[in-house]
Structure formats: structure tokens, C-alpha cells
Structure 1
Amino acid sequence: MTTNQLTNAIANTLTQHFPDIPVHPSNGGSTPAPDTQGLTYRLLSAKLTRERSDRFVQFHTFEICWLDASNIPDTLPDRLCEALETIEVEGTPYRATELRWKTWGQIPKLLVYYTMRTTKVSESATPMQQLEQRPTTLKGANE
């Protein structure tokens, strides 16, 4: 699974669970435009570490922001947690390892952490080939 696939799955999940609310990727700025409403999402960090020669751990942290600080729905935290606790990426469910609410200034933000273990698939070795046997006659030293 790639980081882009995970990011797209989060965007699709937010759009499906919040059909009445605009969902946009974050522009990366710390302060959204004052007239902006809805949800934004962005990847805060992605890390890949090796556990063994063929096994890796991927760590992804996403930030989901509610942009209208003057009009925060009471059910927003619960709905966001339910939506992002388990997401599906190309038919495979991925469960968040942590969901954490933060407030910077007036804007509430949800940090979502996904951790996945992956195994590198080794190249398939050439299968053993069949040996061909031919009958031979041994000639003695006297011949």
C-alpha cells in the first residue's frame, strides 16, 4: 500500500461519511481562509522502518481539521472517530492505532495514526528444471 492510496482512502471515507460537508486537501497553511468551511485533511508524516531484511513497518499520521470554529457540530468528534477508526484501502481494512483530538487556536484537529506491517515479496526463483537422462554404456579398460 502506498501513501497516496492511504490518503485517497481517507478522502473517500470523509466524503462518504460527511456528504453534506465540503472536504478538501489542506493547503498546508496554518491558518485557513476565514470564509472556508468544511473539513480538510493532510498527511503530517510518513515513515518506513525495517524490522528485518524482508519486513517493514509503515507509520502514517494524518491531520483532519474542522474549519468553521464558530459552528462546530456536537457530534463531530464522534462521527470523525467512527469514520476514520477503520478505513478500507483497495478492499483491505486498516485500523487506526490512535485517534487524538487537539485544539490549536480555535480550530479543532483530529490526529489519526495508521501503522502497517508489510513484507517484501521476494522474486520467485526459477523452478528446478528436469534433468534428461540417457543410457550410456561403460567401456572397460580392456577394450
Structure 2
Amino acid sequence: MTVQQLREHLTAALTQFFPEVPVYVEGDKPETAYFRLELISATYDRQREGRYMAVYRFGIRYEQGSRLAAEAMADGLCEALAAGESSDPAFRIMRQSWEAGAEGESALFTADYMLYLQRQKPPEGEAELMGHFTEGTRLK
């Protein structure tokens, strides 16, 4: 699973659970309250030769909405993202958190997704120029 596939999965979960709140991707921003999804960080921990555990931290901001509405959405976001996890066992949510935004900043909901990556070895006789990762679907 690539970062883009994970982003699409998150967007689909938000659209399904909050159909009245658009998910902003690019272009003109909605005039009403909307979600803005962003990859905050990616961490790769080496497990053993050629195997890595990747942790992707995504942030979901509730823009142009009231603080009270953002607080009320915290539990709903948790449920929406957890429901999507059961449909795709290739990744799982490690941690979710919600933070009230500072003055002039919107609330931030973060979700850390964990998955395992396996480095592909080049065919015999070919020089390795750049490594590639593939996903693993086995969870510990």
C-alpha cells in the first residue's frame, strides 16, 4: 500500500462518515467547513534485513468550523478510521489523537498507521541502483 492509497482510503472513510463535510484536496477551498488531509510524517524502522516497519502520520484538520463542532467530531473520526481498518488488513492504526487548535489554527486529529514493507532484491546479475519496497499484509 502506497501513501497515495492510504490517503485515498482516509478520504473515502471521511466521505462515508461525514457526507456533509467536503474533503479539500486542491483548487478552490470550500466556503463551508471542510476537512484538510495531510501527511505529517513517515518513519521507517528497520526490523531485519530487507524488512521495515513504516509508520505514516496523517493529520486531519477541520477548517472553517466551530471549535465545539470539531470537539464533537473527535469520536466520530476515531470510529470512521477504525471502521476502514477492518476492510483492509494490510495496515492498522497504532495511535489516534485530537488537539484543539491554537488561536487562529484549526483543530487537528492525527492518526498513525503502521504497515510492514519488504525491500525487493534485484534479479541476479543486475546492479542495484535504488531499492524498492513492497507491502506485507502480516501483522504481529
Provide the identity percentage: 26
Aligned-pair distance for 1:55?
Answer: 1.4
Instruction: Report the TM-score when normalising by structure 1.
Output: 0.68
| Contact map agreement 2:53 2:115 (CA 8 A) in 1 | yes
Is 1:62 matched up with 2:58? yes
Which residue is equivalent to 2:138? none
For residues 29-79 of structure 1, give each alpha carbon's deviation from its aligned partner in whole angstroms, at most 9, with x where no partner exists. Answer: xxxx8x552111110011223211131111100110111343643631110
Q: Which runs of 5+ in 1 are unaligned?
A: 28-32, 126-143
Which residue is equivalent to 2:4? 4
| Contact map agreement 1:43 1:62 (CA 8 A) in 2 | yes
Is 1:84 matched up with 2:81? yes
Q: CA RMSD in A?
A: 3.1
Q: 1:72 and 1:24, CA in 2 relative to 1: closer, same or farther beyond 3 A?
A: farther
Does the residue aligned with 1:104 lie in a helix, a strand or coil?
A: coil
Q: Which runs of 5+ in 2 are unaligned?
A: 125-140
Which residue is equivalent to 1:22? 22
| Contact map agreement 1:99 1:110 (CA 8 A) in 2 | yes
Aligned-pair distance for 1:82?
Answer: 0.5
Does the residue aligned with 2:91 lie in a helix, a strand or coil?
A: strand
Normalized per residue, which structure has more helix?
2
| Contact map agreement 2:25 2:37 (CA 8 A) in 1 | yes
Instruction: Report the TM-score when normalising by structure 2.
Output: 0.69
Q: 1:4 and 1:83, CA in 2 relative to 1: closer, same or farther beyond 3 A?
A: same
Larger Rg: 1
| Contact map agreement 2:10 2:81 (CA 8 A) in 1 | yes
The CA distance in 2 between the partners of 1:81 and 1:101, in whole Å, is 9
For residues 89-126 of structure 1, give each alpha carbon's deviation from its aligned partner in whole angstroms, at most 9, with x where no partner exists. Answer: 9844632100011122252110110111233466899x
The CA distance in 2 between the partners of 1:93 and 1:72, in whole Å, is 34
